[in-house]
A and B are shown apart, each in its own frame.
Chain A
Amino acid sequence: MKHRKQRRTLEGQENTLGWVFSAPALFAILIIVLIPLLRSFAQSFQQLDLARPAGNGWIGLGNYFALLKDQRFLNSLWITVRFSLISVLLELLLGLSIALLLNNNFKGRGFVRGLMILPWAMPSIVNAAMWKWIFNADYGALNAFLTQVGLMSAYKVWLSDPFWANALLIMANVWKEAPFTAIMLLAALQTIPTHLYEAGRVDGANGWQRFSRITLPLLMPVMLMVSTLQLIWGFQTFELITVITGGGPFSSTEMVALRVYATTFRSLSFGYGSAMAYLVFLVILIPVIFYTRESYKRIIDY
């Protein structure tokens, strides 16, 4: 009885200590994140046009209903979803391939691992400016390379074609983000006990079977986590689009972050822009809820 009381007191003290140490960070989140979030959420139910304040006021769900009919916004949402899903898929494939390669022992592995993270460490704006020059129709390296190896006979204006503009933006994004996926999967690969593979070999499993029955299932939690993060980051993509295409050609690469920015800070429609942001949040919330539920299921299982 005395021991139980002592244990409860100790636990209580640990809980209090935990709250004390978390308090500064929670306070920062409250002031810097939560209050502005709640304020912009309230704005999303208002007509808040700073350029034309005469009509400002509470309109309830008016902004949200208008958004569901706003073809330009829906188009930007579709472009963003497509961009993010394809990017995540390619980042997973490329990241996994690189991680599997780097999981092997070879001379210079440490150097290659360090070099590989450079694209991800590069500031987004630098990455965007670099790719803009590579894709330049008159002087870019892409055109020069493809014509010199004989794959093209004349230079192409890649960024004036909606299909190619989207494809090349995805390529630029994957180039930057895949190393993060690779590093996370590499770390996860190294936690897989080697005796599982040995047991698999003993049981007669071939390379593909060891990969699909041992490696993939054990990597799944990390892949899920990385995919969710990359999906959220995909939705946030802003510098890449702004610098390389500006949303063109004719808004075919205009992603939702750029649309929200233009609506809020160029057209000064803060209410409408806030509603856009929260509608996008709802779209991303679905996979995040799925991921959180799956993660908790695994924790309970363990």
Chain B
Amino acid sequence: MRKIFAIVFCFVLVLSACAVPAATPAPAEPTKAVEQPAQPAAGGSITVIFPKHEADIKGAYEARIRQFEKESGITVNLIQSDWDSVANRVTPELATKGSAYDVVEFDNGWIAQWCGAGWTQPLDEYLPVDYSKGMIPGLVNLFSCPDGKVHGVVWNNDTRFFYYNAAKLEQAGFAQPPATWDELVSQSKEAIGKGVIKFGMAPSWNQEWSLGNEFHFWTYVFGGNLVDDKGCVVLDKDPNTLKAVQFMMDVLKDGTADPAGLTYNQAASQDIFLKGDSLFLPQGIAGLFSYVKDPAISKVQDQIKTGLVPATASGTSAALTLPEAYAIPIGSKNKEAAAKFIVYMTSKETNKYLAEQIGVLPIWTDLFSDPDLTGLYPYWKDFQAQLSTARGLSKITWYSDFVDLTNAELHKALAGGQTAQEALDNMAKQLAKFNCVP
């Protein structure tokens, strides 16, 4: 009897050692997660989860949320962490139609999947009439589902811009930033050769979620496509996509790009630029100047400028936009209070406050010409030209699988383990089961 019991006990122990891990977030970086305990209040309480904005070194979002609590009487149980940790919590919760969260991060990469699965509450009945009139139309439409209803309201107009170290570029003998990628390479080599800089750029090409963003960016700037409008995989047939991957491989090989970029995430890549060790940051956040001015973080104060993303010799510039929205899960038990939160945090007043505090890009069109803001951020006029070229991620219901399957093949090519064409062919082969699934 004891023998049987002991064997069953060992069986259970080993099973529990191997069982599917609990849905705890997988931290890519040991970022501090800010979790505030819920407090009873007259206006009720809601749980809100979204990533910490990259430019929010002052805690501006949290300060604004506490202001919302005072004005509305609604207590906010705020969960903020790095993007990957938030994604790992939010996606399973929504998939199981749970009620743990009332307002969640709604990333642009999830739009097709969430719209198709019906995981979010349509917001039209909760938002004031004509609420989004005055917001950037592209952002409003982006988070509308095929049912014609708005399912998310943008809180982060995360378009990426091209930055360069003007001071070091001038030291290297160049008065103007590169207009093409060939010029970027030649300027980098010249600057490295003169000992002005260590690397032309330090890319963020670690095998993680954001490598999918990078794949999109480089494909777009070379005029390529990964997936067409019908959800059909075209990356293996598009010659411009092949050029993009080949360029990524070449810059690592010829020293233009820091080979350690294969192990870097976006934060590390930005950090190297702010230390003055790289000349260009092809995909910098809109609020980068908040970091540039901070002497505790940056060694390149007054050296940085922004310009248009270089193009190919025959092409035009392109940029990646990664907007993020607030959404209400279908399982939320506090939809009214959640909607009030969304309206407050995406209002013009809040958007202006956050722009003043940490330089976030407006989601309201007329704020781009607000004299208070343009006085603070004169470089916004440089952003205007780039904004019109911005493109988002592929809108497919299987975007998570796309990233999972393409990352490994792309990384192998970048590390020299296969050719660019082999990488694209292998990606297409593995994506075959999703081909032409919208």
Contact = CB atoms under 8 A, between A and B. Distances in A.
A277 B18 contact: yes
14 contacts: A37-B15, A160-B263, A242-B27, A243-B28, A248-B411, A249-B411, A249-B415, A249-B417, A254-B408, A260-B21, A268-B91, A268-B400, A277-B20, A281-B14
Nearest to B14: A288
A156 to B, nearest CB: 9
A245 B207 contact: yes
Given A50-B96, A126-B30, A232-B17, A262 B404 contact: yes
B277 interface: yes
A148 interface: no
A284 B263 contact: no
Contacts of B30: 125-126, 128-129, 243
Interface string A173-213: 00000000000000000000000000000000000000000
Interface string B90-123: 0110011000000000000000010001000000
Contacts of A157: 259-260, 262-263
A249 B207 contact: yes
B110 to A, nearest CB: 10
Contacts of A52: 397
Interface stretch (B5-13, B188-196, B346-354): B5-13
A266 interface: yes
Contact of B21 (A137, A161, A245, A261): A261
Interface of B: 3, 6-7, 10-12, 14-21, 23, 26-30, 87-88, 91-92, 95-96, 113, 117, 202, 206-208, 258-260, 262-263, 272, 277, 397-398, 400-401, 404, 408-409, 411-412, 415, 417
Contacts of A265: 23, 88, 91-92
A251 B405 CA distance: 10
A284 B95 contact: no
B207 A247 contact: yes
Contact of B408 (A36, A250, A296): A250
A246 B208 contact: yes
A159 interface: yes
Contacts of A260: 20-21
A47 to B, nearest CB: 13
Interface in A220-273: 232-233, 235-236, 238-239, 242-243, 245-251, 254, 257-258, 260-262, 264-268, 270, 273
A149 interface: no
B56 to A, nearest CB: 22
Contacts of A264: 20
Contact of A160 (B17, B88, B259, B398): B259
B19 A267 contact: no
Interface string A267-302: 110100110011011001100100010001000000
Contacts of B23: 265
B27 A243 contact: yes
B20 A273 contact: yes
Nearest to B7: A292
A51 B208 contact: no
Contacts of B277: 138
A206 to B, nearest CB: 40
B397 A292 contact: no
Contacts of B95: 50-51, 268
Contact of B20 (A40, A159, A248): A40
Given A51-B400, A251-B408, A236 B17 contact: yes
B26 A281 contact: no
Contacts, number: 153
Interface residues of A, number: 60
A34 interface: yes
Nearest to A41: B15
Interface of A: 29, 33-34, 36-37, 40, 50-53, 72, 125-126, 128-129, 136-138, 157, 159-161, 232-233, 235-236, 238-239, 242-243, 245-251, 254, 257-258, 260-262, 264-268, 270, 273-274, 277-278, 280-281, 284-285, 288, 292, 296
A129 B398 CA distance: 31
B330 to A, nearest CB: 13
Contacts of A268: 91-92, 95, 400
Contacts of B26: 238, 242, 258, 261
Contacts of A160: 259-260, 262-263, 415
B432 to A, nearest CB: 14
Contacts of B412: 249-250
Contacts of A288: 10, 14
A257 B15 contact: no
Contacts of A296: 3
Contacts of A281: 14-15, 17-19
B414 to A, nearest CB: 8
A52 B434 CA distance: 11
A235 B18 contact: yes
Q: Give the top 3 A-B pairs by smallest Cβ distance, nearest first.
A: A248-B207, A137-B260, A250-B412
B259 to A, nearest CB: 5
Contacts of A136: 260, 263
B19 A37 contact: yes
Contact of B400 (A247, A267, A274, A280): A267
A258 B408 CA distance: 14
A267 B404 contact: yes
A249 B418 CA distance: 13
A288 B28 CA distance: 32
A161 B417 CA distance: 10
